[in-house]
Amino acid sequence: MVKTSLLTQIEEKREELMKVVLHNGMTSTVTIEHSQQLDHLLLQYQRHLHSNSAN
């Protein structure tokens, strides 16, 4: 369940980031904030995968 939710959030954030990049450019503060949010979601997903593989 958590895995599916995280994957959905990651995909939504990725799509949102692409729109922000097209509108604001690669180096805007808004783009960087969205990119960091995506990074955080990806890290959560990796930690979830790692914790499940250790069990």
The three-class DSSP label of residue 45 is helix
d(C-alpha 50, C-alpha 44), whole Å: 10
* pLDDT interval class at 18 (50, 70, 90): very high
4-23 mean pLDDT: 97
Tell me how far apart the alpha carbons of residues 37 and 15 are, in angstroms, rounded to a whole number: 12
pTM of the predicted model, to two decimals? 0.89
Residues 6+ apart with CB under 8 A from 9: 41
Check residue 55 and give its pLDDT.
62
**pLDDT the model gives residue 27:** 97
Quick: pLDDT tens for 29-52.
Answer: 999 999 999 999 999 999 999 998
Domain 2-53 = CATH 1.10.1740: no
